[in-house]
Amino acid sequence: MSLSDLQIKAFRPSERPAKHSDGGGLHLLVSPTGSKLWRVSYRFSGKQKLLSLGPYPTVSLADARARRDAAKSLLKQNIDPSEKSKLDRIASTTSRATTFDAVAEELLSKSGREGKAEATLTKKRWLLGLVQSDIGGRPITEISAAEILVPLRRVEAQGNYETARRLRAVVGQVFRYAIATARAENDPTYGLRGALTAPTVTHRAAFTDWQRFGGLLRAIESYEGSTDTRAALKLLALLYPRPGELRQAEWSEFDLKKRVWTLPAARTKMRREHRKPLSEAAVAILEDVKSRSGLGRLVFPAIHTALRPMSENTLNGALRRMGFDKDEMTSHGFRASASSLLNESGLWHSDAIEAELGHVGADEVRRAYHRAAYWDERVKMTEWWASEVARAEMALLPSVRGVDV
């Protein structure tokens, strides 16, 4: 006899579980606690089995009958409804574990274990946050290129073309990681490469001729601000490291007797240790700084606390106070100045210059060659560069003389 909603609502719990049949194997189990659970009895491969359909009234009478009929349809196809339900639950759990957010978080964790800089991870996390509301909760296998294009266009609409380009690249990294871990079959960002507005390439402001570079050096020498800021700017001119590498430098990295600065892998852009030879002039500056404030860990601590390094705004701010605007010179521009003038001299192998700048090519053998064969040349180049910097500071023309390299 079929059940009705009125009957079901009238069922009261008893001391033992009570079954109330609706026909076709479907019945409602009323437990002593009062809960009411739909179940279907069936036989599969000669065995009596039960399939739970959910509680009443969450699963209505009509829904329970529809699910019973669906189970019968599976039985006709020689499919066990219980096994199918189990597989569906596993697939649902797996789907939640392979959402874009889940895969992205796993990739970030992996990058952290591999020693990627915290600043890099923070930047990637911020970028991924820009797509979270659009695709974050979606199974990664179901995300289309059109869906990804929506947040990319939103970023573009704000005029942030470079951010949109980087966002597409980071999203692509997540998809490629999903492919590598067998959770996706393709990267939909590949087809979006030509869809975004290409950002205008702007080179970092720098002086690339000796006359203007010499004027900058003379301005630094007469700078009336912080002595440490002036020393840091002088070292940028002499050693042309990345500004962050110098600002965050620690005394433990320097061997002033052997005239070597060893930058740890964690602080270099290429994530590998980088050794730089120190000229006599650079050592003199460092010894002066150490004599005044070398008791702490950092070579150039912030003004208000020795626990944090000097900010890049400090260096760029000093350049502005000296009269150089952001379109003329930046703290990062010292690298471009040195690269241009060293190459222009014609005295030094281009690979030695690239090695000194901390640039690394794709070829592993060439990287090893940079570290070894060019070290002696880099030592000579460092002293030559220091002498030319001194000449330029005195308003003398550069002395492009022969050097035994």
Q: Which residues form the catalytic set?
A: 242, 269, 332, 335, 359, 369
Burial of 152 (0-12, 13-18, 19+ CB in 10 A): buried
Residues 6+ apart with CB under 8 A from 362: none
Quote the radius of gyration of the chain (alpha carbons, Å): 34
User: Alpha-carbon distance 179 to 339, whole Å?
Assistant: 40
Q: Do the Cβ atoms of 278 and 255 come closer than 8 Å? A: no
Alpha helices in 130-226 (DSSP H): 145-157, 161-180, 210-221
- Of the candidates 109, 107, 182, the one whose C-alpha atom is nearest the C-alpha of residue 141 is 182
Sign of CA dihedral 305, 310, 312, 315: positive
Is the separation of the CB atoms in 151 and 142 below 8 Å? no
- Residue 313 CA: distances (Å) to CA of 276, 292, 332: 25, 23, 12
> Which of the 8 DSSP states describes residue 268?
S
Nearest-angstrom CA–CA distance, 92 and 39: 21
Q: What's the angle, vertex CA 184, arms to CA 181 and CA 186, rounded to 5?
A: 120
- State which H helix or E strand residue 41 sits in: strand 36-44
Give the DSSP H or E segment for 52.
Answer: strand 47-55
Q: How far is CA 211 from the centre of its chain?
A: 40
